Amino acid sequence: MELELRGQSKNTIRNYRYTISNFLKFTNKSPENINEQDIKRYMIHLKNQKNATNRTIHRHLNALRSFFRYQNIDIADKIQLPKLSKPLPKFLTREEIKILLEKTDRLRDKCLIRLLYSTGLRVSELVNLNKNDIKTESIHVISGKGAKDRIVFVDPRTQEMISHYISERNDDNEALFLSTHGERISARTIQWLIKKYSKKAGIEKKVSPHVLRHSFATHMLEGDADIVVIKELLGHSNLATTQIYTHITDERRKKVYAKAHPLSKE
C-alpha cells in the first residue's frame, strides 16, 4: 500500500514483496524480533549462497528498509553497504540508429522504434500510450515511476508515420500500439522486436528499449542540448542521474583525440 502511494511501479512492488517474503522465511522470525545481525546474515547468504552482486544486495536491502520503516522498526537503515560504481550507459551511434530503422520493415515496428529514440520514453511509458496522446508534436507522459509527469516532443516525420499507422488500423482499441492479437502491445514484445531488428541490422551490441533511451540522451547532449532540458525530457528527479551522460561524451572525445592528434600516437 505504502509503495503504491509513493508511485512505485508494479514491477518494483512485486520485487519488494518477493524479497521480504524470502527474508522472513530465512530468519523464521516475526518482524519485531528481527535484529541487525539477522539482516547482515541474510546479505551474506545472498552473496555466498546465491552469488548475488553488490547491486542485487543493495536492491534487497532497499526493500527491507522500506518494509521496516513501514513497521516503525529502525534497524535496516543502520546497515551500510559499499558504494556502487555506476557503469556508463550503453548507446547506439547515429549510424547504427539509421541502419536499425532501415532494417525495420513493418510500419508499426518502425513507428515504435522511432518514437522511443525520438522521445527518450521508457518502454513502460510507450506501452501505456493511447492513440489520442499523439495529436500534436508533444506528448503528455503520465509516468508510473515516481509519478513524475512530463512533456516530451515528437519529430514531424515520426508523427507523420504514426498518423499513417493509425489510419491503416481497422479497430476501435484506444491503445497506440497493438500486438498481432489486437491487444495492447507488451513491453516484452517490444524488447523482442528491437532485439530481432538489431540482429537483422548486424549490430553486435545488446540493444534494448533502454539503450534507445540512452541513445536519445547521448545524442541530445552531443548536439549541445542543455543538460537540465535533457533531465526534464527523461523525467529524472535528480540532475546527478542525467549527468552520467556527460561522462559518455567525455569518453568519446578522449577516443577521438587519441585517434586524431599526432602526439597521442608517440
Q: Indicate which residue of 47, 65, 90, 145 is catalytic.
A: 145
Q: What is the pLDDT of residue 253?
A: 75
Q: Indicate which residue of 60, 108, 114, 213 is catalytic.
A: 213
Rounded distance, CA 193 to CA 200, Å? 11
117 is catalytic: no
- Cα separations (Å) of 71 from 30, 68, 77? 11, 5, 13
Q: Indicate which residue of 122, 214, 219, 231 is catalytic.
A: 122
Q: Residue 92: pLDDT above 50?
A: yes
Q: What is the pLDDT of residue 248?
A: 78
Residue, of 160 and 263, whose pLDDT is higher: 160
Q: Residue 9: pLDDT above 70?
A: no
Kindly report the average pLDDT of the chain as a whole number.
Answer: 89
Q: What is the pLDDT of residue 237?
A: 86
pLDDT band for 1, please (50, 70, 90 cuts). very low
pLDDT band for 110, please (50, 70, 90 cuts). very high
Q: What is the pLDDT of residue 252?
A: 73
Span 168-186, mean pLDDT? 95
Rounded distance, CA 223 to CA 235, Å? 19
10 is catalytic: no
Q: Residue 82: pLDDT above 70?
A: no
* Cβ atoms within 10 Å of 69's Cβ, excluding its own: 13
* Cβ atoms within 10 Å of 78's Cβ, excluding its own: 9
Rounded distance, CA 190 to CA 179, Å? 9
pLDDT band for 12, please (50, 70, 90 cuts). confident
Phi, psi (rounded to 5 degrees) for 152: -120, 165
Q: Residue 163: pLDDT above 50?
A: yes
Q: Residue 68: pLDDT above 70?
A: yes
Q: Residue 218: pLDDT above 50?
A: yes
Q: What is the pLDDT of residue 137?
A: 86
Rounded distance, CA 22 to CA 108, Å? 41
Q: What is the pLDDT of residue 147?
A: 53
Contacts 24+ apart (CB under 8 A), 49-56: 54/81, 54/82, 54/84, 55/84
Closest CA to 4 of 127, 143, 146: 146
Report all structural domains of the chain as residue ranges with CATH numbers, in order of start.
Answer: 2-78 (1.10.150.130), 94-258 (1.10.443.10)
Q: What is the pLDDT of residue 4?
A: 56
236 is catalytic: yes
145 is catalytic: yes
Supply angle C-alpha 204, 219, 149, rounded to 5.
Answer: 110
98 is catalytic: no
219 is catalytic: no
pLDDT band for 97, please (50, 70, 90 cuts). very high
pLDDT band for 5, please (50, 70, 90 cuts). very low
Q: Indicate which residue of 60, 108, 219, 236 is catalytic.
A: 236
Q: What is the pLDDT of residue 171?
A: 94
pLDDT band for 206, please (50, 70, 90 cuts). very high
pLDDT band for 10, please (50, 70, 90 cuts). confident
Q: What is the pLDDT of residues 111-150, one digit of tens each?
A: 999 999 999 999 999 999 999 998 788 898 987 655 578 9
